[in-house]
Amino acid sequence: MNTPTNQELFDAWRHEPAPLLPLLHAFHDRDGYLSEGAMRAIAKELRLPLADLFGTVTFYHHLSREPGGHQAPRVCTGPVCQLKGAAQVLASLDGATSMPCPGRCDDPVPVLVGDKVFTGAELDRARSPLPPPPPDGIDECVFAAIRATARDSIEGYRASGGYRALPTAIEKMRPGELLDLVDASQLAGRGGAGFPTGRKWRAVADAEGTPKTIVCNADEGEPGCFKDRVLMDHDPHAVIESMALAAYATGASRGFIYLRYEYPETYRLLARAIAEAEAADMIGNAVCGTGFSFHLYLRRGAGAYICGEETSLLNSLEGKHPFPRNRPPFPVTHGYENLPTVVNNVETLVSVPPIVVHGADWYRDLGLSDHPGTKVISLSGDIKRPGNYEVPIGLPLMSLLQDWAGGPGEGRSVQAVTMAGLSGGFLAGEDLDVALDEPSIRAKGSFLGAGGIMVFDDTRDMIDVAHSAMEFFAHESCGKCFPCRIGTRRLTERLNGAGPDDVTQWVDEVSDIGETMKQTSACGLGMAAPLITESLMKYFPERVTEHVGNRRGANR
Amino acid sequence: MIRRATEEPVTQQPTPPAIHTLTLDGEEVSFTAGETLIDITYRHHKDVPNLCYDPRLEPFGACRLCIVELEGANNPVASCTTLAEPNMVVTTRTARLETHRRVLMEMVASENRDIDVDPLSGYASQQMRELVDQYDARTGRFQGEQSGTSREDDDNPFIKRDYDNCISCYRCVRVCAEQEGDYAISVMNRGFDTQITTEFEGLLVDSACTFCGQCIQTCPTGALADLKALANKDVPGETVTTRTICPYCGVGCTVDVMTRGEQIVGVLPAMDGPANEGALCVKGQFAFDFVHHPDRLATPLVRGDDGELHEASWDEALDRAATGFRKVLDEHGRHSVYGVASGRAPTEACYMLQRFIRAGFGTNQIDNCSRA
Ligand SMILES: Cc1cc2nc3c(=O)[nH]c(=O)nc-3n(C[C@H](O)[C@H](O)[C@H](O)COP(=O)(O)O)c2cc1C
Ligand code: SF4
Ligand code: SF4
Ligand code: SF4
Ligand code: FES
């Protein structure tokens, strides 16, 4: 294949929406890094100030500015992979650097080389493992058909019930009726914040300004979360169908899937599915042969956890520096290009087609007691059967750990788990006796969030785990606001042996920093990070005393 | 978009903006739609602390010192990014707010090499120190790695880039983009590693920088500092400022000239200057050496028969000029003259030159250099 010229790359992207990220990737892929010349050419072509473009490129940790950098191996050193030999893998590979969790905790230790992910178990495993089947008598929503043969192709998708909801909705329902249905299902956001999906869609439908946009948030940057990956790998058409439904309900005419950089195989699968769906008129100028038009674009992130935060994501799409925006105004009125925009998580979206087919009551009843619906939990760490489990909301945590996933290793006990990936901090001791629903978990000072749970057995040093977690937040803090920019660094230092060597002073400093971060940070990252230290001090005070005390000995 | 309070909403027919009220520290106060809470607190002299706020710039929300309590909200909100809404109940000082502000100031103090910098560094350079002292934040808590790397290699004569003292408020980057439209500097990296930079980490001379000095004057720590003023830091005497107009061009920017004794030590832009609202260009900001320069003309000079220039009175000099002009007119006619007004001249002076050429000589050959 001929190497494309700058001009050919510009011609390919100049008239596309959100062209900066794809152009950066095109040059990065072509040259193996982003050269000064490439950045100058892109800045000139897109009429961006060069200093701004340079600053923005340095924001993303997977864009290399050194020749050969694109192909240099990156090894996950996240909290789970650290337990599974990440350090040895890193040391054994020439020129390898570490990277934060790339969403393969069910298959450690992943190594990203160029556009391929290699995992410990098998080389270049293209797909994520399918979710284990649920226990008898449990009904699923988003996983119900995912194990069907060739579900990822349009034929297989259709054969297993796909692309039924979209034509039904367009033919038989007015947009307002679809909104009513989503409201009635009580579906809420599965990306972390739990905002009612029906209300979000209605706000966009009611907002003034066109074109409106649907963004599928597939950034999945939270360590310990890999649920969106399994959905997209095995059910990409469900993502497309659900986005078209969201567009129909809200009057949107364009959509973006913002996919994290670390899922290159998923990118190829989604690109193929989008082409199939376009050819079949499931998206495009005449959706299902009607006058409704919806264009879908796939965009790839470049390595930055904060780009999962919806306003940072929108800035990233628009080619701006990906700091989060100040809110209000919210994306529902001032989103992509300052126009009304739905930002929804993958799991939230793909819940919608089954709701259209089976009804709101069916969905609500999937949950236990009064809790509506299901939640996919990504389970990893010291557990016999790591993987993605779609549980009825309200299932006891211990039931998931013991009955569904086989419990911790032989002779081991669960010392602690994380919630919301890392953002919910730890639960331990008696608090492990909790139901998996947002109110119950919030009552323990944590939250369910995107549903990543890492398990740590009684052999693990929780100070090490906490340090690794805080290091992640420090690495990913965008640097916009003071409490998080400075606080994540100070907390990391204190978990790594620095800070006062008097326990009371240490605890005071860590608590004061944490409290101010929680209450004054500009976005969820800085508000959530101190849950790590807070829960560490709550459940493991004696380990904290030892940690600070040991160091005092070592310093003398 | 959030609109700054100073901008009038654009409407076809000027309707007076609706007046609403909210409660500020127990008092009912009025505001117009589009104002942020910090604008209102300022109007009522509440002095909400802040480090990333510059009223000329778009709301940003970095420092979080401007937090206020908002009834119904769990967490305090940043007053600089929160638009006022009717019937809000806002409190600017509570024990909780003051505790967070102090912790924030201790954190900021922990990341910098210096808290005390020479006031000649720049207009806002004392802002962080004042807040550190107000919150009694020199406690030495939160010690750890310090942020920012100074660019000692940048040998430009105007701007010191001492990023060891930078607190990442991004006022410099924002003023350069929003006020100057130069986009010379930006933010590199993330989190604690953020660093103010030009493209490819180069020198300012190789960037789009025009050396307007705006970034210096908005910097709240002295990390960006006025090298020309600092060069005079050993000049004895108290610094006195005198309000005047920049002599360089017709814009007429208001400046506060800093002097010690008879010597100019530096120039500060006047934030309330009607023409410039705090903006200056490289000339008005830095090019004041000519005032004390030995080559500067202090009296008119006329050329004597010996071919040398000699000091003369104004009458003598003007007579000589008039004689010369008349001679040219008599010998070569009225179209032998061509007048070009300086772009530095104000409108009145341009008008005078135009009258002089048209009425005095009787020709239309008159132009202005800024048309070239
Ligand atoms: C630091 C941070 C990271 C986030 N990362 C993600 C993410 O990777 N994927 C996601 O769907 N939502 C993420 N969110 C939540 C989004 O901001 C947003 O709430 C969500 O995409 C809305 O979709 P939902 O209502 O369907 O959950 C993140 C939020 C924060 C504060
Ligand atoms: S809380 Fe952290 S990630 Fe969020 S805006 Fe502030 S610095 Fe950025
Ligand atoms: S001197 Fe002016 S142009 Fe140069 S970086 Fe500062 S604000 Fe921008
Ligand atoms: S150099 Fe000054 S103005 Fe710029 S970010 Fe640092 S402290 Fe703020
Ligand atoms: S002035 Fe509001 S956050 Fe800095």
Tell whether the model's pLDDT for residue B13 goes beyond 80: no
Instruction: Tell me the CA–centroid distance for residue B79 and ligand 5, in Å.
Output: 7
Identical topology for domains A72-125 and A367-457: no
Tell whether the model's pLDDT for residue B346 goes beyond 90: no
Closest CA to A436 of A448, A424, A453: A448
Question: What residue type is assigned to position B49 of the chain?
Answer: P
Rounded to 10 degrees, the C-alpha dihedral B222/A312/A464/B146 comes to: -10
For B39-60, the pLDDT digits (tens) are 999 999 998 999 999 999 999 9
Q: What is the reported pLDDT for B9?
A: 52
Q: Which residues pair with residue B27 across a beta bridge?
A: B24
Separation between Cα atoms, residue A22 and residue A28, nearest integer Å:
10
Residues with CB under 6 A from ligand 5: B 50-53, 61-66, 78, 80
Instruction: List Cα–Cα distances, B214 to A169, A322, B168, B202, in angstroms.
Output: 57, 25, 16, 19
Ligand nearest to the CA of B185: 3
Closest CA to A29 of A4, A54, A58: A4
- The predicted model gives B99-113 an average pLDDT of 97
pTM of the predicted structure, to 2 decimals:
0.93
Distance from CA of A347 to the nearest CA of B (A): 28
Separation between Cα atoms, residue B259 and residue B251, nearest integer Å:
23
3-state secondary structure of B265: strand
Backbone phi, then psi, for A378, in 5-degree steps? Answer: -95, 115
Instruction: Tell me the CA–centroid distance for residue B51 and ligand 3, in Å.
Output: 19
Separation between Cα atoms, residue B40 and residue B32, nearest integer Å:
10
**Does residue B169 line the site of ligand 4, with CB under 6 A?**
yes
Q: Side-chain half-sphere of A145: how many Cα atoms within 13 Å?
A: 21
For A384-397, the pLDDT digits (tens) are 999 999 999 999 99
Instruction: Tell me the CA–centroid distance for residue B49 and ligand 5, in Å.
Output: 8
Q: What is the reported pLDDT for B2?
A: 47
What is the chain A residue with the closest CA to B65? A520
Q: What is the reported pLDDT for B12?
A: 60
Q: What is the reported pLDDT for A183?
A: 98
**Does residue A525 line the site of ligand 1, with CB under 6 A?**
yes
Q: Please answer yes or no on whether A36 and B78 come within 8 Å at the CB atom.
A: no
Model ipTM value:
0.95
Q: Residues B18, B19, B24, B28: is their CA dihedral positive or negative? A: negative
Separation between Cα atoms, residue A1 and residue B77, nearest integer Å:
55
Select the residue of A52, A484, A489 nearest B145 (Cβ to Cβ): A489
Q: Are B116 and B129 in contact (CB under 8 A)?
A: yes
Using alpha carbons only, give the angle B329, B335, B338 rounded to the nearest 5 degrees.
Answer: 95
Both tokens assigned to B358: 């048209």
Q: Structurally, what CATH architecture does the domain formed by A367-457 represent?
A: Roll (3.10)
Superfamily for domain range A72-125: Glutaredoxin (3.40.30.10)
Question: What residue type is assigned to position A339 of the chain?
Answer: L
Separation between Cα atoms, residue A487 and residue B106, nearest integer Å:
11
Q: Pick the residue whose CA is nearest to atom 2 on ligand 3.
A: B212
Both tokens assigned to A462: 């929780």
Q: Which of A314, A320, A339, A516 is the mutation pick for testing B, counting most B CBs within 10 A?
A: A516
Both tokens assigned to A81: 């992979």
Do the strands A452-457 and A414-418 form a parallel or antiparallel pair, or are they unpaired?
Answer: antiparallel
Question: What does the domain layout of chain A look like in residue ranges?
Answer: 6-57, 72-125, 154-362, 367-457, 462-555
Separation between Cα atoms, residue A32 and residue A334, nearest integer Å:
36
Q: Are B106 and B65 in contact (CB under 8 A)?
A: no
Closest CA to B54 of B161, B158, B179: B179
Cis omega before residue A230 (within 30°)? no
**Does residue B128 line the site of ligand 4, with CB under 6 A?**
no
Fold of A462-555: de novo design (two linked rop proteins) (1.20.1440)
Ligand nearest to the CA of A376: 1
Q: Pick the residue whose CA is nearest to atom 6 on ligand 3.
A: B215
Q: What is the reported pLDDT for A124?
A: 52
Q: Please answer yes or no on whether B190 and A519 come within 8 Å at the CB atom.
A: no
Which domains, from first to last, does chain B contain? 19-93 (3.10.20.740), 113-231 (3.30.70.20), 236-296 (2.20.25.90), 301-368 (no CATH)
Q: Pick the residue whose CA is nearest to atom 8 on ligand 2.
A: A478
Residue numbers in chain A where pLDDT is lower than 50: 553, 555-556
Separation between Cα atoms, residue A321 and residue A41, nearest integer Å:
18
Q: What is the reported pLDDT for B6?
A: 53
For B122-163, the pLDDT digits (tens) are 999 999 999 999 999 999 999 999 999 999 999 999 999 999
Q: What is the reported pLDDT for A29?
A: 96
Helix axis angle, B95-111 to A503-520, nearest 10°? 110
Separation between Cα atoms, residue B81 and residue A255, nearest integer Å:
29
Instruction: Tell me the CA–centroid distance for residue A272 and ligand 3, in Å.
Output: 47
Both tokens assigned to B173: 């980057």
Where does the pLDDT of residue B256 fall: very low under 50, low under 70, confident under 90, or very high at 90 and above?
very high
Q: Are A471 and A492 in contact (CB under 8 A)?
A: yes
Q: What is the mean pLDDT of chain A?
A: 95
Q: What is the reported pLDDT for A57?
A: 98
Separation between Cα atoms, residue B106 and residue B141, nearest integer Å:
7
Both tokens assigned to A307: 């780009």
Q: How many CB pairs under 8 A join A and B?
A: 151
Residues in chain B with CB shorter than 8 Å from the CB of A498 are: 144
3-state secondary structure of A288: helix
Lookup result for tokens 């191996």: A73
Backbone phi, then psi, for A315, in 5-degree steps? Answer: -60, -40
SS3 content of chain B, % helix, strand, coil (to 5): 30, 20, 50
Name residues whose C-beta falls within 8 Å of residue B210's C-beta, 6 or more positions apart in sequence. B180, B182, B184, B281, B282
Q: Pick the residue whose CA is nearest to atom 8 on ligand 4.
A: B169
Closest CA to B198 of A36, A20, A25, A41: A36
Write the CATH number of the domain with boundaries A154-362.
3.40.50.11540
